[in-house]
Structure 1
Amino acid sequence: MKHLNWSLQNLLFIKNSEVGYLEKYETYETRCCYYNSVENFLKEDKESWFKSMCNSFNSLYHLSLEEAQKRAWIDCFNVLQNELPFVNNKYPGLQIIFEYALPYESGRRPDVILLSKEYVIVLEFKQYADVLQADVDQVKSYVRDLREYHSESRNKKVVPVLLLTGTEEKQQQRYPGIILCSKNGIDELCSKIFLEQITPTDAKKWIDSKYEPLPTIVEAARTFMKHAPLPNIRKVNSTVIPQAIECLKEITKDAKENKKHILALVTGVPGAGKTYLGLQYVYDICESNEHVDSIYLSGNRSLIELLQSTLKSKTFVKNVHSIIKEYTSKIMNSFEHNIIVFDEGQRAWDMNQMKKKREIEKSEADIMIEICDKKLEWCVLLILVGEGQEIYNGENSGLEQWNTAVKKAKNNWEIVCPDKLEKEFSLAVKKYPELDLNISLRTHTAGEVSKFINHFIAGNMEQASLKAIDIINNGFNMYYTRNLEIAKNYCHKRYAGHIDKRYGLLASSKNKELKNYGLRSEFELDIVTWFNGEIGDKNFSNSLELVISEFNCQGLEVDMPIIVWGKDLRWYNSTWYPEGKTDIDKVYRLNSYRVLLTRGRDGFIVFIPPIAEMDIIEKLFKDIGVKELKKTLN
């Protein structure tokens, strides 16, 4: 762990990271460009107000102030100066906030907040008359996150309003989840929302509120680099993750004091936070135990490369296959990691794959247990067990190989696991229900997305349809389209200006039609550039040119994936027909699409190629409640 600490202590600032934004927020007094009472705002001179906005923006953000943004502010000022006098006369004491930056959110900023003790009205201004799905989803996501993570908003009614300044029609319209308003309709809008007199509130207190989102894996790693504990995340604290970590700490203490070898297993659905838990566990243990060293292992090359790049260290995070190769080649001098986390350990290579790759008649599980037996006086080997994610050859032996390895071990290993894994082991186990992470954290839908995808991949479309209703209502956006440009425009529009937001093209590795749509894939992909590149780089995910496969994205996530459906998974007579020569090949193909469909934090878009044989896929998504993504909604 000392190598990790070196990385942590020597990093001063991370370019384009959310930690960097946090430092900026700590330097300045507010997280917005302007706030005041509506009454005082109405007394503002346009020129001085605009100058104040520009100065605040330049102080707060690492972003260039574009001319389009300046024009939008002037348009917004003019509209509000015209409409708010009527509102202020009826509802004195209302507060107004411009460009409030959601903490830890890379500069995501609702345009205007109207605030009282009872209400938070989120006004998102657009200088045209068209209703775009990206704009609707943008304002809905602001409201969702304020309700979910913003402490001072939890007892208030949070109202999403999309305000189109390109139209003067006064009548408000209700689209699913938002109110649509024209530039002349703000007075009438407030009269409908405020059913009684409002109570003034402290805008500064609201601006400085605690805000507790879940970090992505990369963001968590960046926080480790700062040698700082991760934020006390409310959504994590509402799950079993804190209990699981405390349980693992007690297990570690027992192993160290009593010189035990313990095999611990944690299970969880996609997005449950297994990788996050593994990183947090080794961090907490090594912070509290000076003489304990740790290592984080995975067979997922993309995850390893991305974490190594983020941590600026190849010591703490390693590819398990390289550790195995070093040991079996008899060049491993020492192995002093008492805490070993093996991510997706059920996917360790079985004996057949090891014989094929290394000419050794042992599984990776056999060898990891052997290393611990020979090299360590005590240890905790933590296996993070995913569900239904096997996509490589030799990964389908599951936990049986760990059962076999422990039975052959030199030491008497103790096994601890959640109740549902007891049947996987012939030896006695200690059961801990808190080691089953059964709630998804990747999205805002408490695990329902994972259940929806499982039903979908299993062909249980009636059950999938029932899940889809709640998922969409809870703010997870699921779309299909036959027009790739509509999908691309949606992503560019929705995440414009949010430099740490990631969207990108995903496809099955067996999809052979990508070139037909001007898309490309690369066998030797630079995954670090794809995830952490910059605008203008054609290999950066947000450029929407380079497609990655299930092998590249497994264990990672983007905010909005565009999934290119291929001919390798067909639907006919209420049954999936995956491509593959053998039954196991077909299982891998189904799992590949399961992986692709569970990568999104905000949702997903499925691009269904506009050819006749794909019409049945469009009908399938439509029938289960996935909405068609359209260019405009009006």
Structure 2
Amino acid sequence: MKNSPRCLYYDNFVSFLNERNDSIFGFMCNNYHGDALTTTRDAWMEEISIMKNVVDKYKNEAGQIIFEYDIPRLGKRIDVTLLLKGIIFCLEYKVGEKSILESDVDQVLDYALDLKNFHKLSQDRIIVPILVATNYNSSSTVIQMSPYNDGIINPLVTGKKGLLDLIAKVLDEYPNESEIDSNWIISPYAPTPTIIEAAKALYENHSVADITRHEADDVTTDQTISYILDVIENSKKNDEKSICFVTGVPGAGKTLVGLDVAIKQTYQGNDKPVEDEGAVYLSGNGPLVAVLTEALAQDNVKKNPKKKITDSRREVSKSIQMIHRYRDNMLCKIKNPVENGILEIDPNKAMENASAGFGEVEHVAIFDEAQRSWTHKRLADYLRRGGTYGNKLKVPNFPMSEASFLIWSLDQRKDWATIVCLVGGGQEINTGEAGISEWIHALNENFPKWKVYISPKLTEPEYAEGKVDELLKDNANVTYSEMLHLGVSLRSFRAEKLSAFVHCLLSFDGEASKIYNEIKDKYPIYLTRDMATAKKWLHARVAGSERTGVLVSKESARYKPLAIHILQSGDENAVHWFLDDKSNVKSSNYLEDAATEIQVQGLELDYTCVLWDADMRCHNKKWHYYKFNGKDKWVEQLPDTDNKKELQKYMLNAYRVLLTRARRGMIICIPKGNPNKTATGFYEDSTRLPEYYDETFNYLQSIGIEEI
């Protein structure tokens, strides 16, 4: 039995047949991270038994059988993959089922398409998707290629009794295929050369209005994109490695810049990608990736009614991906355990390419929200426990921060590479997020030959605590450029100074009143003590397809008395909240589920209500931070340890994010609390005393914000 971080089990046919079923089952269970459901375990046993019967007929062939293969960087698993006589069979099992469902057929076809589109050693192969409903009493009789001339057989269906014959028919129909590379299981991820229509729609037609709308005149996104593309071209010409740090006020279009660079670099004005010039946009923000992908995919389907939504999602995801999956794909290639604190590639786990070396196939990687990359401690603790998207990929002594590892990953290329870091100032919102200083430490200490291009704004206090100049003073490879700063908010297209206002408000800066007076006519901001009033104001404001929603910090706790619930975690919930129309109760427009800073960072609404709870309170022109104990009281988080100082920073940044999500206006609701007492003189609700809220309300009102 062979072990691989890409699957739960794989081996050649002879070894598979000689191994006991229960041993294979135990091996799979041991490699699975988490507790597999009983139904999953039963399915595995059934699949092993069925495949023993199939493989026995071909025991003299040089094939491979793979259980639970993880399609690199997509987070999907194929139940069984059979590499036989040069053909790739993708098998999706529905154990115990006797009927065929269209959704199940679509699922196995998706696997085949994902391999064709993303898996380098599958791109020139015949791929056969087969749905096996084990109790189904019939089998497909027609075997033919799909009408798209893509090397994929139209999906086949069968029961367990007909599977062997069905595979034999396919092999009879397509004989004499050349053997599949023995490195198939560790094949690099490589997008196929097809245009991403949804992404083109975004850039050419600006049709995904909920994400791209803006009316600012003096935006500099085009100049920034041009500058980055020049850095990329120079890196290619000089065969060197480079990194760009792009700063921007909240809503300035950093995400759009990243997406545009990815598309422009990959296609360079052509209908097909330029070979070996690819770029990929990566984000650690799950809701952002999910919402962007779904919005672009839905938009594409509207323009192409014959296209399936799953196809559109797949096309979009070629250039928009989760950074964790990129990271974990590189982790699969290292020697484990790490020796002497030095990362090395294990040649038995990775295939070396002529120019990419052991790195990923893209020359350019765009990391959105780079300030949120993990500290060394958080990443090391995570890998020590194991658990990277399904496999027990444990690295007990990982030596790097996430930023350092991501640079290391691009540094594995033999030729040239460029990293683009999109940086939001003061937007680290989770424990273990390292901030931008960690990227600079990594460059100084481990990658001194990399060329560094940074925005002058990176030296300001909200980035690396204002220590960037000091950190870079001995680095001779630094170039500063104003072109790498986006100073105009596209999100708040009627109030470019919103981000400056919020910064002053949170800093108790006297300029807050002046800026508020400058923007209030174009960008309304109001105060209220009542959620019903806030909802009425929002409903009166929005028109047509405009979106509104309620926002709270993740440390908020006493919102239920106000008839507000927290949007459940999970990317699918964020997709519904941001994209479903106002007729759907899952939509943000219903004003029932409030989203946190985790779910809305990087995204936007037209009008928002920020529900300000007692977790962050104003007292004597200073913020005080509290966490609810889950029962009966708030506990102040005093800055007496480094961890609590860090927590205070995250809590302040949470409100910075929440207060900059609206494009057109917002209302801030600071509850009155509950002043009522019982007959015996005790407060009815000691967790919501008026004093927890009043001074915060008074401070915001003193800036000039009008109450309604």
- TM-score, normalised with respect to structure 2: 0.54
Task: Choose 356-365 or 449-458, whichever is displaced more.
Answer: 356-365
Whether 1:335 aligns to 2:360 is yes
In the alignment, what sits opposite 1:251?
231
In the alignment, what sits opposite 1:303?
288
**1:485-538: CA deviation from partner (whole Å, max 9, x where unpaired):** 222122222224x12x11101101111111111111144241000001133332
**1:523-569: CA deviation from partner (whole Å, max 9, x where unpaired):** 42410000011333322100111111111111111111111110001
Q: Give SS of 2:662's match.
A: coil
Q: Distance in 2 between matches of 1:440 and 1:294?
A: 26
CA separation of 1:348 and 1:463: change in aligned 2, threshold 3 A: same
Question: Which amino acid letter does the alignment assign opposite residue 358 of structure 1?
Answer: L
Q: Distance in 2 between matches of 1:245 and 1:576?
A: 38
2:322 to 319, 322, 325: 319
In the alignment, what sits opposite 1:224?
200
Q: Distance in 1 between matches of 2:559 and 2:237?
A: 56
Question: Which amino acid letter does the alignment assign opposite residue 418 of structure 1?
Answer: S
1:518 to 563, 568, 591: 563
Q: Give SS of 2:663's match.
A: coil
In the alignment, what sits opposite 2:700?
621
In the alignment, what sits opposite 1:189?
none
1:584 to 631, 641, 646: 646
Whether 1:290 aligns to 2:274 is yes
Q: Distance in 2 between matches of 1:363 and 1:531?
A: 32
Q: Distance in 2 between matches of 1:520 and 1:404?
A: 41
CA separation of 1:356 and 1:545: change in aligned 2, threshold 3 A: same
Question: Displacement of 1:418 after TM fit?
Answer: 2.0
Q: Give SS of 1:354's match.
A: helix
**1:217-245: CA deviation from partner (whole Å, max 9, x where unpaired):** xxx99563467365999956623222211
1:549 to 596, 600, 621: 596
In the alignment, what sits opposite 2:612?
565
Q: Distance in 2 between matches of 1:274 and 1:258?
A: 27
Whether 1:508 aligns to 2:553 is yes
Does the CA contact (< 8 Å) of 1:236 and 1:242 recur in 2? no
Question: Which amino acid letter does the alignment assign opposite residue 336 of structure 1?
Answer: V
Task: Choose 503-512 or 408-417, whichever is displaced more.
Answer: 408-417
**1:192-215: CA deviation from partner (whole Å, max 9, x where unpaired):** xxxxxxxxxxxxxxxxxxxxxxxx
Does the CA contact (< 8 Å) of 1:439 and 1:446 recur in 2? no
Aligned residues: 407
In the alignment, what sits opposite 1:190?
none
Question: Which amino acid letter does the alignment assign opposite residue 450 of structure 2?
Answer: W
Q: Distance in 1 between matches of 2:585 and 2:213?
A: 35
1:348 to 363, 373, 380: 373
Question: Which amino acid letter does the alignment assign opposite residue 458 of structure 1?
Answer: S
Whether 1:459 aligns to 2:508 is yes
In the alignment, what sits opposite 1:595?
657
Q: Distance in 1 between matches of 2:214 and 2:555?
A: 40
Within 5 Å, give how 1:41-440 maps onto structure 2: 224-225=200-201, 228=204, 230=206, 238-288=218-268, 290-291=274-275, 292-311=277-296, 312-313=313-314, 314-330=317-333, 335-359=360-384, 360-375=398-413, 377-395=415-433, 397-409=434-446, 412-421=449-458, 423=469, 424-425=471-472, 426-428=474-476, 429-440=478-489
Does the CA contact (< 8 Å) of 1:418 and 1:433 recur in 2? yes
Question: Displacement of 1:406 after TM fit?
Answer: 2.2
Q: Distance in 2 between matches of 1:522 and 1:504?
A: 11
Does the CA contact (< 8 Å) of 2:287 and 2:600 recur in 1? yes
2:533 to 466, 479, 486: 486
Q: Give SS of 1:559's match.
A: strand
Question: Displacement of 1:302 after TM fit?
Answer: 1.1
CA separation of 1:223 and 1:319: change in aligned 2, threshold 3 A: closer
Does the CA contact (< 8 Å) of 1:336 and 1:376 recur in 2? no
Q: Distance in 1 between matches of 2:621 and 2:567?
A: 34
CA separation of 1:394 and 1:252: change in aligned 2, threshold 3 A: same
Q: Distance in 2 between matches of 1:592 and 1:478?
A: 19
**1:260-315: CA deviation from partner (whole Å, max 9, x where unpaired):** 21111111111222112111222222231712211111111111111222342333
Does the CA contact (< 8 Å) of 1:505 and 1:562 recur in 2? yes
Does the CA contact (< 8 Å) of 1:565 and 1:607 recur in 2? yes
Does the CA contact (< 8 Å) of 1:270 and 1:598 recur in 2? yes
Q: Distance in 2 between matches of 1:568 and 1:378?
A: 48
Q: Give SS of 1:406's match.
A: helix
Does the CA contact (< 8 Å) of 2:216 and 2:493 recur in 1? no
CA separation of 1:234 and 1:348: change in aligned 2, threshold 3 A: closer
Q: Distance in 2 between matches of 1:263 and 1:374?
A: 15
Question: Displacement of 1:325 after TM fit?
Answer: 2.2
**1:461-497: CA deviation from partner (whole Å, max 9, x where unpaired):** x221111100103x1010111221222122222224x
Question: Displacement of 1:376 after TM fit?
Answer: 5.4
Q: Distance in 2 between matches of 1:584 and 1:381?
A: 27
Does the CA contact (< 8 Å) of 1:487 and 1:605 recur in 2? yes
Question: Displacement of 1:441 after TM fit?
Answer: 2.0
CA separation of 1:420 and 1:490: change in aligned 2, threshold 3 A: closer
Q: Give SS of 2:667's match.
A: strand
Q: Which has the bigger relative contact order, CA under 8 A and spacing at least 6?
A: 1
Whether 1:537 aligns to 2:584 is yes
Does the CA contact (< 8 Å) of 1:221 and 1:307 recur in 2? no
Question: Displacement of 1:391 after TM fit?
Answer: 0.6
Does the CA contact (< 8 Å) of 2:218 and 2:488 recur in 1? no
Q: Distance in 2 between matches of 1:329 and 1:522?
A: 34
Q: Distance in 2 between matches of 1:575 and 1:234?
A: 35
**1:73-127: CA deviation from partner (whole Å, max 9, x where unpaired):** xxxxxxxxxxxxxxxxxxxxxxxxxxxxxxxxxxxxxxxxxxxxxxxxxxxxxxx
Q: Distance in 2 between matches of 1:234 and 1:596?
A: 19
Question: Which amino acid letter does the alignment assign opposite residue 263 of structure 2?
Answer: Y
Question: Which amino acid letter does the alignment assign opposite residue 444 of structure 1?
Answer: F
Q: Distance in 1 between matches of 2:363 and 2:414?
A: 7
In the alignment, what sits opposite 1:610?
672
Question: Displacement of 1:408 after TM fit?
Answer: 4.5
Q: Give SS of 1:380's match.
A: strand
Does the CA contact (< 8 Å) of 1:538 and 1:546 recur in 2? no
Question: Which amino acid letter does the alignment assign opposite residue 567 of structure 1?
Answer: A
Q: Give SS of 1:228's match.
A: helix
Question: Displacement of 1:341 after TM fit?
Answer: 0.7
In the alignment, what sits opposite 1:172?
none
CA separation of 1:601 and 1:410: change in aligned 2, threshold 3 A: closer
Q: Give SS of 1:250's match.
A: helix
Does the CA contact (< 8 Å) of 1:262 and 1:379 recur in 2? yes
Q: Distance in 2 between matches of 1:411 and 1:467?
A: 42
In the alignment, what sits opposite 1:56?
none
- Identical residues among aligned pairs (%): 29
- Which of the pair is proportionally richer in helix? 1
CA separation of 1:332 and 1:548: change in aligned 2, threshold 3 A: farther
Instruction: Answer with 1 or 2: which has the greater Rg.
Output: 2
Q: Distance in 2 between matches of 1:404 and 1:280?
A: 28
Does the CA contact (< 8 Å) of 2:542 and 2:607 recur in 1? no
